[in-house]
Structure 1
């Protein structure tokens, strides 16, 4: 399945949402911009397009979204994807966790690990948990030396889903 992300003003993205009543389009606000997220068909004129590598649960019209954007070398793509396909799955049992998408870009080299949480506090508690440390022990954010398949620094973007 494909995922589409685009940015714009809230009014513009809401009009797209209203013009596609039979499609689930999720609006998210954060960090000075508004994004729209859609699964399946592309309702947007311009969008970043991804394929789902792995997923857990359905996306919802509420919650806190954290996108970990990770540049990956071309030759490292299979290693990176395999790492996520064979992950421990500790995040799924974390209180406040709602959904996960591992997204492969169709253009460019930046994968997105998208997590949906009940609220910001749930995400912050996950970051300080033993489960987080276990999940990231080999190459997490605290490691100084990154794996060879990482093509540059990763960065987080955070949003609140706008309830419809």
Structure 2
């Protein structure tokens, strides 16, 4: 059963462009991680300053393996002096099990 991890990160307006740059410039190591299924960075449109970082994993064990890896540490160490504190002090990690999923029918 797949698991989803959603990291809700508050980013003040003045740091949002830099925050998005950080993700555009990421090395992509997560995509090579065994058990990784999906990644999305969701930008807030209105009513909040929280970005959502959505990842999907084939199991909790696969996520834990990524979380304990050197690639994870490298991916989460930077962001610059202005960005890192703004993001790290106000975030929440939510965990979900996927119990139903669908995709469009494609011929």
TM range (shorter): 0.7 to 0.9
Between structures 1 and 2, the one with greater strand share: 1
The structure that has the greater radius of gyration is 1
Shift of the 150–130 alpha-carbon distance from structure 1 to 2, 3 Å rule, reads closer
Give runs of aligned pairs for residues 106-121 of structure 1, distance below 5 A: 106-107=45-46, 108-121=48-61
- Normalised by the length of structure 2, the TM-score is 0.82
User: Residue 150 of structure 1: SS of its match in structure 2?
Assistant: helix
Task: Tell me which of 58, 77, 82 is aligned to 1:137.
Answer: 77
Gaps of 5+ in 1: 1-61, 140-144
Deviation at 1:117, TM superposition (A): 0.3
Shift of the 90–74 alpha-carbon distance from structure 1 to 2, 3 Å rule, reads same
CA–CA distance in structure 2, aligned partners of residues 86 and 132 of structure 1: 15
CA–CA distance in structure 2, aligned partners of residues 80 and 111 of structure 1: 9
Deviation at 1:152, TM superposition (A): 4.4
CA–CA distance in structure 1, aligned partners of residues 88 and 33 of structure 2: 29
Which of structures 1 and 2 has the larger relative contact order (alpha carbons within 8 angstroms, sep 6+)? 2
Gaps of 5+ in 2: 102-107
Between structures 1 and 2, the one with greater helix share: 2
CA–CA distance in structure 2, aligned partners of residues 133 and 85 of structure 1: 17
- Normalised by the length of structure 1, the TM-score is 0.55
Give runs of aligned pairs for residues 91-130 of structure 1, distance below 5 A: 91-107=30-46, 108-130=48-70
Is residue 77–residue 149 contact of structure 1 (8 Å, CA) maintained in 2? no
Task: Tell me which of 64, 69, 78 is aligned to 2:17.
Answer: 78
CA–CA distance in structure 2, aligned partners of residues 113 and 129 of structure 1: 18
Is residue 64–residue 160 contact of structure 1 (8 Å, CA) maintained in 2? yes
1:6-55 deviations in whole A, cap 9, x for unaligned? xxxxxxxxxxxxxxxxxxxxxxxxxxxxxxxxxxxxxxxxxxxxxxxxxx
> Would you say how many aligned residue pairs link Structure 1 and Structure 2?
98
Deviation at 1:131, TM superposition (A): 1.1
